[in-house]
Each structure stands twice: as C-alpha cells, then as structure tokens.
Structure 1
C-alpha cells in the first residue's frame, strides 16, 4: 500500500469549511477503495495568519509543501466579512505572497480549470441541464503575471508591468493541452478533440509569438488533435454563445484568469469550479473561488469545487504514480457528486437549499453506496 503525503491548507473565510467536506469525501473513498492511504498534514496559512504573525506562509510550511506528494488548499484572502483587503506596503494584496511563491517556486505552470455541468444545477447563462464539458488552461507562471513583484511606479506619474511569454513556457503549456486532449472525449458538440489558443496577436508581438509557437507544437499532434486560435475578445463571445463548441482553451495567465471565471457562470458559478496548478513534479489543487468572508461560518457555502479539486488531485497522483486505485477513487467522487445533484441536493448558490454539511453528507453516502457495487 502506497502512502501519499498531502499538505492541507484550509486558509481563510470559507476555506476551512470546504476543505472539511473535501477531506470527508477523500476519507470515505479511502474506506471504499483499498490500496492507498492519504496522510494529511494541516498547515496554518493565509491572510489571517498575516494579520496575526506578519507572514502568509512560513518558510518551513513552504518546504513541507515542496516535499509533499500534493497540496490541497481551501482559499486564502479576506479572512472576515466587512474587512478591507489585506495589503502589503506596495498596496497589493498579500494573498499573492503564498500563491505566487508556490506557483513560481514549484514550477506550477499548468493552471487546469475544468468547466463541467451537473444535473439540476442552475446556471445564469446556460439554464439548467445543458451538457457542458470543456477545460480552460491558464498558463500560470508567465504572461502578465510574470511581473508580480516587479513593475514599478515612476514619480507617482505612471506605472508599468511587463508581459513575458517564452518559447519554453508556451511549448510546455501547449504540449500539456494536446496531451490532455488525447485523454478527453472531445468537445460536446461532436466529439472532436480540439485545442484552441486564445490571444491578442493582431496587436501584441508577444501574443503573435505565442500563437506561432502553439502551431509549431500542434504539428506534432496532427491527425490526432485539431488546433485553432481565436482572439480573446471574439472568444468570450463565441464561448458564451456556444460553449459546446470548445474542448480545451489555452490562454495567457491574465486572460485565463478572466475567462475561467466567466466560464464558471455556465455551470452555476464559482462554487462549481475546481482547479489544479500543476507542474512536472508538484501540484496544488483548490477551488477557483475566493474566501467569501461574508458567509464564512454560516454552513451555506458550496463545497463542490473543493470536492472536485480533491478528485483532480487523485487523478493527477494516479497518473503520476500509475496508481489504479487512485484513478478509481477519482471516478467514484465524480459519480457521487453527479448522483447528489441528480437527486436535487444542492446549495443555495445553484438553486437549492442544502447546507454545506448536508451536501457533503450526501456525497459521502453516495460514495459508500457506490462502493458496495464495486
């Protein structure tokens, strides 16, 4: 039996609540499927810690995260309702002190954000029970975000940040997308395996370069996965009108940050949107949403995104270590979440009235029920 060391970072606001439900689900899966064990080590990080101790993440915790097999995080940011954002001396939020330290330090270039619909789940833009299944791939260490900690202000007259796009970074991101496309069923509309590069290459040389390198990588997958590209402004329209026409969308960091939040509205909102920050040797999984401090402690937050982030973690570990038990565990979580929504159990943000804990209870019960059928 293989032991996996998981660094657990509950964080701020609703973070501890959603992490608690995700851990319950992961524990239930371990009970049902033999052959592996998750060893959770919990750490105190986030903006609340910064206010109390002057640091978002201590170096010792970062080193432990580096040694862990994977990281599962709740959310970090504003810790309490009504508070102003917690900022550093430069006026930027201290949340980045953790996020970018881990992303840059561990080389987590692949920001994978699945957008998948579940039954009976109310969506602001796409109605209910419309089948949507696509992935936004946000390149996570380059683009405009490469300027984090850099940039500058000149005599209080102007400010600047610089976008960085490299050949190596684009090649790695594009290859990841094409490999991921090979493992997916293709776009909902017709099953076509497709990677779409979005950019603003008609105006900026960095984006034109990104597009050029993307198509060079696409040649290696010719005949297996199709490739196309869309201007970011056109993409937001086309993606909203017909999300079923997309399979995987590759975007620069800032663009990916924006369109992944937009795409979450197709499936019910941020409470439904899991994510993974993945590198060659390390990975961190977390919901796409923030800390929602105004509802923290009220037992009403949607834990789906965090539960599905746990599913992504099992998928990644299973693939990395060729562990069939973990892959089965990931499939079990997805089925249990599907069954929960199919029964009409859902939180208020997606048209239901279930509490956070009731939703978690139902998913756990479904896991044990499904486990008897294995």
Structure 2
C-alpha cells in the first residue's frame, strides 16, 4: 500500500511500499545488507503486524545502461507517488559528464532540507577527547546557493555575455578566463527551512537553533539567509523562540521550558566552536554549501561518514529521500568490505520520519552493541585496538543477531 498525504498530514499503512535505489559502486554491497536489517527490525518490533514492501527503482549507472539516461523520469515519479524512499550512493562524474544526480533529485523533488543528524556511538574511534559531547542535527538548505547548478565554463557564450554585462552595465571587471557561477539565496527559501528547523525543535524537544552563515562578507545572500530566519521566527514563533540577548537579559542564561534559543554564528567561528564547545550546539541551519561542509566535519568528530545518516526532505509535501551520505567508492565495489552503517542509520531516521520510532531505537541499540563488541568493518577496525575485522555482510548479520537479543 502507498503512504498518503491528506490535509497536510502523512498517513503510513501497516505495509507501506517503499522504493529503493541500490546505488552505484559500493551500493551493491551495502544496500541489500541494509534492507535485510530493516526487515528484521520491523519484524522484531511489530511481530508481523507491520511489514515493508520494497520496490526497486533505478538511477545512476544501472539506469544509464538500461534506459540510456542516469535519472529516468519514472524514477522521480515513483518517489513522488510513494512519498518516502531510500537510496545508496550515486556516482557524480568530476569535471564533466552528467550533473550530480543527488543535486538533481533534490531540486526536482524540491527536497529543500538535507537532514543530517550527527551523534556519537559508544565504542566508535574518534580523534576527539570527548566525542560524546557532540549531538547536533544539521538542516542544510538543499535547493539554492552555489549548488543550484547555475554556472558556465569560462569560454562559453553565456559566461562571456555575463562578464560583458557586468563590465558594461555595472562597471564590474572579471578576468576573461573566469568561469561564472550564480549564488541565489531567497527570502522564501530561507524562511521555509527556518520553519522546518523550528517545527522539528518543538516536536522533539531540542533547545537551540544556530544559523550558520558568512553574512559579514556575503551580506545580500548569506546575510539575507540569517535575517530572513530571524524575521520569520519573530513573526510566527514569538511565543516560543527567544534570542541569545533575551536569554541573557530576561532569563539569566537559563532556557525556560517550552522555549527555543535562536542564535547565529559566522561559519568559520562555528567550525572552531564545534571543536572547542560542542555541547553548546543543538540544531544548526545553514545555506547549502556551508551545510555540506559542516555536516561532514561534524561526522569526522564522531568517527566519519561511514556512520553518518542523512535524508532529503520536503516538510511541506512530506516527500523524503533518505540516503547513504558517503560516495560510491568504486574501487571498493563488489568486495564486501565497506561499512553499511550510514545507509542503515539513514533507514533508522526514515522509520522515525514514518512514525515507527521503535524501529529506529532497535536499530541504533543493535548497531551500538555491535560496535562495542569491536566486530566491525575495516574502516573502523584499523582504528580500534583488538577489533575483529569483518565483511559488510557479516557486520549486518551481527547487527541482526544483536537486534534479536535486545
């Protein structure tokens, strides 16, 4: 059966059909393992009363081979139709070929939030003395900024026309051999991701939201991003959102129950503070490029992208595409050695999004137990003393074993 949306609310049947994309490269190794883990977790929690019906769809290299294009229209339409989907990594050619399929899917489906939770799992190797202090959720704006794909080669007709226009009309000189890219950031796009972050914070009891920006330099794009979110919070959430100034002057630095602190940080300062004072941050909302950087930097603090979940969500239409956050790693493809943690944890977030919170809890508990047993894939084993290095499939099977014992 299909997940449906009525009057702005998502309804999930007991046996929803969820499309999945295996992905390129290591996708063939990790995605089947993840689906197996998901099925066992659902059975564990609901004892046959609920079940996922998996529907394979294609994108990337498999689609190019079978359909002659990397992202067939029917793949996009199927995700729209079934509301929630999950995928493995997709290869993006560097310096040519087709555009990033990840970016294209986010823009085509208007998945304006890249949802990236980052937390520490006990037993994970980390370069930090206290990685457990970091527990953040990044709301990265997914459709605007320099990732909008509005760019041209330095010698293209469009690039030359733009450079001539800037020189002739605005007295702005750009070197002739410069490529050109446009950085659009809108008030409406900034407000809607601000709303999504505030709604999430209220629903799940998070205490603060930090706007990450470089508005001191890019005043009319990233400065606009910051100002639009503050303005929206003042207009729509005046009773629940307070600023840092109000926190100090009215509440003596203590966040009252039911209130959320909205603050902002310059991007480079935030990178430092997440290393020095990670416990001061909770939800981070950022423009596209900054959000990309900070998501992966935070993941490194708690063990790397191998254990970093993510999803791309439109909180208005409810369409969501969860994904492995790392690349397709072609040199490891087919070797049954890659860590499937990212896509498994992304699936856990997917279940919470569907309202199946208990499934998420079971998956996370089993993964954490498996890591504590030091029964891990090579990327973690080389960093953990006394670890047993295992294959992708064996790691998944141990998670299932631990799940059944919980």
TM-score for the superposition, normalised by structure 1: 0.86
1:339 aligns with 2:379: no
Q: Alpha carbons of 1:130 and 1:327: their partners in 2 closer, same or farther (altered >3 Å)? A: closer
Are 1:39 and 2:53 matched, yes or no?
A: yes
- What is the rounded CA distance, in whole Å, between the counterparts of 1:129 and 1:359 in structure 2? 23
Q: Distance in 1 between matches of 2:130 and 2:56?
A: 37
Shift of 1:131: 4.1
Aligned to 2:137: 135
Contact 1:144 1:163 in 2 (8 A): yes
Q: Is the 8 A contact 1:120 1:129 kept in 2?
A: no
* Selected match of 1:267 from 302, 322, 341: 302
Tell me the secondary structure at the aligned position of residue 41 of structure 1: strand
Secondary structure of 1:37's aligned partner = coil
| Equivalent residue, structure 1, for 2:327 | 290
* 1:54 CA drift (Å): 3.5
1:355 aligns with 2:378: no
Give me the whole-angstrom Cα distance separating, in 2, the residues matched to 1:149 and 1:64.
27
* SS of the residue 1:11 aligns to: coil
Give the Å deviation of 1:343.
Answer: 2.2
Please name the residue that 1:120 is paired with: 123
Instruction: Please state if 1:366 is matched with 2:370.
Output: no
Deviation at 1:122, TM superposition (A): 0.6
Contact 1:120 1:128 (8 Å CA) reproduced: no
Select the residue among 102, 109, 112 that pairs with 2:112. 109
- Does the C-alpha gap of structure 1 residues 134 and 278 become closer, same or farther in structure 2, counting only changes over 3 Å? same
Q: Which runs of 5+ in 2 are unaligned?
A: 1-12, 161-175, 243-258
| SS of residue paired to 2:376 | coil
Residues 181-203 of structure 1, C-alpha deviation per residue, up to 9 Å, x if partnerless? 224454xxxxxx11100111111
| Structure 1 counterpart of 2:9 | none
- Matches of 1:28 and 1:360, distance apart in 2: 11
Residue aligning to 1:226 = 261
Q: Secondary structure at the match of 1:2?
A: coil
Choose from 344, 348, 357 the match for 1:307. 344
**Once the 2 structures are TM-superposed, how far is the Cα of residue 274 of structure 1 from its aligned partner?**
0.7
Q: Does 1:277 align with 2:312?
A: yes
Instruction: Tell me the distance in 1 between the aligned counterparts of 2:17 and 2:264.
Output: 39
Deviation string, structure 1 residues 204-236 (Cα, Å, up to 9, x no partner):
111111111111233313251001111111111
2:199 is matched with: 179
Q: Structure 2 length normalisation: TM-score? A: 0.79
Corresponding residue of 1:163: 183
Where 1:212 maps in the other structure, the secondary structure is: helix
- The reply to whether residue 65 of structure 1 matches residue 85 of structure 2 is no
Alignment counterpart, residue 229 of structure 2, candidates 185, 201, 214: 214
Check whether the contact 1:5–1:69 (CA below 8 A) recurs between aligned residues. Answer: no
Cα RMSD over matched residues? 2.1
Residue 98 (structure 2) pairs with residue 94 (structure 1): yes
Q: Does 1:14 align with 2:26?
A: yes
Unpaired runs of 5+ residues, structure 1, are: 79-85, 187-192, 319-325
| CA spacing shift, 1:128–1:95, aligned 2, 3 Å | farther
Corresponding residue SS for 1:135:
strand
Pair 1:26-2:38 in alignment? yes
Q: Secondary structure at the match of 2:132?
A: coil
Report the secondary structure of 1:130's partner residue: helix
2:88 counterpart of 1:74: yes
Q: What SS does the aligned partner of 1:3 have?
A: coil
SS of the aligned residue for 1:13 comes to: coil
User: How many angstroms does 1:368 deviate by?
Assistant: 1.8
- Larger Cα-atom Rg: 2
When residues 348 and 183 of structure 1 are mapped into structure 2, their CA distance, relative to the original with a 3 A threshold, is: farther
Contact between 1:121 and 1:129, CA under 8 Å: does it hold in 2?
Answer: no
Whether the 8 Å CA contact 1:56–1:95 is kept in 2: the answer is: no
Is the 2:122–2:372 Cα contact (8 Å) retained in structure 1? Answer: yes
2:51 is paired with a residue whose SS is: strand
Alpha-carbon distance between aligned partners in 2 of 1:127 and 1:14, rounded to the nearest angstrom? 31
Contact 2:151 2:180 in 1 (8 A): no
2:64 matched to which residue of 1? 50
Q: Contact 2:43–2:51 at 8 Å: present in 1 too?
A: no
